Amino acid sequence: MIEKVRKAYELVTELDSENGIISIRPGDKHAQMHDEAFFKTFSGYSVVERDCEEYPYEVFKWVDGFKFFTILDESEYEQFINGEKEAI
């Protein structure tokens, strides 16, 4: 078992450094990403509000059965979402 955990750790560490993926939930095929990496990787994403004061927004995109997502606080939402709308 420890060897499998070690391999999983190494793979997730590699995914983080190369793609900004910081966690994977295998049961529901969700991969959480750093916000900057998410926005560099995806367009055509969806935004929903969350019941959370600290990170009230979730931005996500489904790709081949996997949900890639990031969560944003108010300032990140202004930077990545509202800032993008103003640039259009």
What was the pLDDT predicted at 70?
97
- List the single range of 1-5, 54-58, 84-88 with lowest mean pLDDT: 84-88
Q: Look at residue 38 and tell me whether its pLDDT is greater than 60.
A: yes
How many domains does the chain divide into? Answer: 1
| pTM as predicted | 0.86
CATH of the domain at 23: 3.30.720
If phi > 0 it is left, if psi is from -120 to 50 it is alpha, else beta; for residue 16 that is: alpha
What is the C-alpha separation between 69 and 33, in angstroms, rounded? 6
Domain span at residue 29? 2-87
